[in-house]
Amino acid sequence: MKTEKIPEATIARLSVYSRYLTKLEKEGIVKISSGHIAKGISGNPAQVRKDFAYFGEFGTRGVGYKIVELNNNIKRILGLNKVWDTIIVGSGNLGTALAQYNGFSDRNFNVVSLFDNDVEKIGSNIGDIEIKSIDDLEGYLDNNEVEIAILTVPSSNAQTLANRLIAKGIKGILNFSPTVVNAPGDVQVRNIDLTVNLEILSFNITLNNKEE
Amino acid sequence: MKTEKIPEATIARLSVYSRYLTKLEKEGIVKISSGHIAKGISGNPAQVRKDFAYFGEFGTRGVGYKIVELNNNIKRILGLNKVWDTIIVGSGNLGTALAQYNGFSDRNFNVVSLFDNDVEKIGSNIGDIEIKSIDDLEGYLDNNEVEIAILTVPSSNAQTLANRLIAKGIKGILNFSPTVVNAPGDVQVRNIDLTVNLEILSFNITLNNKEE
């Protein structure tokens, strides 16, 4: 299996397929066609078959895919056959909201700790998760196997904190700070810039309004 | 100016450039070279010049760009020469966090109202913003000029609520519900699936670990 050749758009769709298949599993459904998967996620059947073919799932015409088996294969490819302990750095409104986001734990991302530099917050809990001092970040990462961190800090601190995380072995950063965070090649960073996304909307709306 | 040909990646970078230029403006800096812009946002100078050339900004070698003028041009292209009143549908943790996110108001996105179906929340305030009943959504949109909505509701309600927004003239939806929302061609939707982003990380980390 040449997973290194799977395009990112396919990986993103695999994630969406898998959540849909999980929903069907819970409903007790056993088999499904590519057409029904496509319909369930507002995609198209040819795309579904093409995406699955990357990892050798071809289904059988008229029979379809066995849901549990297919979903297990997708989850294994996405790395979801294990629990990923995850920390959140920055316990502002967004960090706090993400700590309580059920969508993560449903998919084996287990938020184990929040870190902040605000003495008023340190020691308090968000649900079951304790807010720890940012000074304890290195010590925590020395003693706990964590590979993924979510960064929700001001722009001015983002790169410094990313460097500290990377120095202690973090392999993936989901960055919500409104600045690009750089990392060496063996560390994955996904920058989610909320403002950029709104500005792409305002650009497109402005363009559409002009054309009308 | 043929703005319709600007690639989305360029639009996203324009947003980043503009925030950097705004920071420089506040520091009282008047001119800047493409090289310094690139350095400031961890980009490369040729890319900066290429992005600016889409809208006829060429700068002068050795002189550079006038920051205020350049930034005003970028903001006009992004549609930021006006205030965009924005509503948030869903006042859970994420909706509440986004209502308080300063990054939006800094860029002329003004969150004017939150909507929810939880009677315990309706009538209370998040900062200065009142949580209104989802039953009042249509009435509110009839009486207020709002073109952008941020959707932070459970998957099961996302499309229904998107349809209600679109029926009342919303032109852009930033969707955080973990499901794809569909819209007619004249309505812009950006789907930000937080879980997909984490799963792209777990996929890449798993792949890297295998290759080591």
C-alpha closest to that of B14 among A193, A189, A175, A9? A193
Q: Is the pLDDT of residue B29 over 60?
A: yes
Q: Does position A18 have pLDDT exceeding 90, yes or no?
A: yes
- Three-state secondary-structure class, residue B77: helix
pLDDT higher than threshold 80 for residue B2 = no
Residue B1 pLDDT greater than 60, yes or no = no
Highest mean predicted confidence (pLDDT) among A1-5, A51-55, A57-61, B178-182: A51-55
Average pLDDT over residues B169-178: 94
Write the pLDDT tens digit of every residue in B32-57. 999 999 998 888 999 999 999 988 87
Instruction: For residue A112, give the nearest of A139, A148, A81 by alpha carbon.
Output: A148
Axis crossing angle, helix A67-78 with helix A8-26, rounded to the nearest 10: 140
Are A192 and B188 a contacting pair at CB < 8 A? no
Residue A3's pLDDT is 47
| Interfacial A residues in 60-89 facing B (CB < 8 Å) | 77-80, 84, 86
Mean pLDDT (whole number) for A133-142: 98
Q: Cβ contacts (< 8 Å) between A190 and chain B: which residues?
A: 197, 200-201
- In this predicted structure, what is the pLDDT of residue B179? 83
Q: What is the pLDDT of residue A180?
A: 82
- Over residues A54-72, the mean pLDDT reads 85
Phi, psi of A145 (to 5 degrees): -85, 100
Q: What is the CA radius of gyration of chain B?
A: 20
pLDDT over threshold 50, residue A6: yes
Q: Is the pLDDT of residue B125 over 80?
A: yes
List the single residue in B77, B101, B207 with the smallest CB-CB distance to A203.
B77
Q: Cβ separation of A193 and B12 shorter than 8 Å?
A: yes
Beta bridge partners of B126: B129
Higher pLDDT among residues A185 and B63, named by residue: A185
- From B26's Cα to the closest Cα of chain A, the distance in A is 15
| Cα distance between residue B18 and residue B75, in whole Å | 7
| Band (A212; pLDDT cuts 50, 70, 90) | low
Chain B residues with CB-CB distance to A77 below 8 A: 203
Mean pLDDT confidence for B116-138: 96
Round to whole Å and give the CA distance between A45 and A64. Answer: 12
- What tens digit of pLDDT does each residue of A75-115 get? 999 999 999 999 999 999 999 999 998 889 989 999 999 99
Residue B20 bridge partners (DSSP):
none
Put simply, the answer to whether A107 touches B199 (Cβ < 8 Å) is: yes
Q: Distance of alpha carbon A75 from its chain centroid, rounded? A: 13
Using a CB–CB cutoff of 8 Å, tell me whether A105 touches chain B: no
Mean predicted confidence (pLDDT) in A150-162? 95
Whether B177 and B152 have beta carbons less than 8 Å apart is answered as yes
Q: Quick count: other Cβ atoms within 10 Å of Cβ A30?
A: 11
Burial class (CB in 10 A: 0-12, 13-18, 19+), B85: middle
Report the pLDDT value the prediction gives residue B180, as an integer from 0 to 100. 82
Question: Cα separation of A16 and B210, whole Å?
Answer: 24
Checking if the pLDDT of A1 tops 70, the result is no
Q: Is B11 on the interface with A (CB under 8 A)?
A: yes
Q: Is the pLDDT of residue A45 over 50?
A: yes
- What ipTM, to 2 d.p.? 0.91
To the nearest whole angstrom, how far is the Cα of B60 from the nearest Cα of chain A?
27
Query: Which residues are registered as beta bridge partners of A110?
Result: A85
pLDDT in the model for residue A179: 83
Does the beta-carbon distance from B79 to A15 stay under 8 Å? no
The nearest alpha carbon in chain B to A187 belongs to B205
Q: How far is CA A145 from CA A83, A151, B143, in A?
A: 11, 18, 53
Determine the residue of chain B that is closest to A99 in CA distance.
B93
Mean pLDDT of the region B95-123 = 94
Give A165's contacts in chain B (Cβ within 8 Å): none
Tell me the mean pLDDT in the region B7-30.
93
Under 8 Å between Cβ of A97 and B97? yes
Q: Find chain B residues with C-beta within 8 A of A14's C-beta.
A: 199, 203
Q: Enumerate the residues of chain A whose CB falls inside 8 A of the CB of residue B77.
A: 203
Q: How far is A204 from chain B (nearest CA, A)?
A: 7
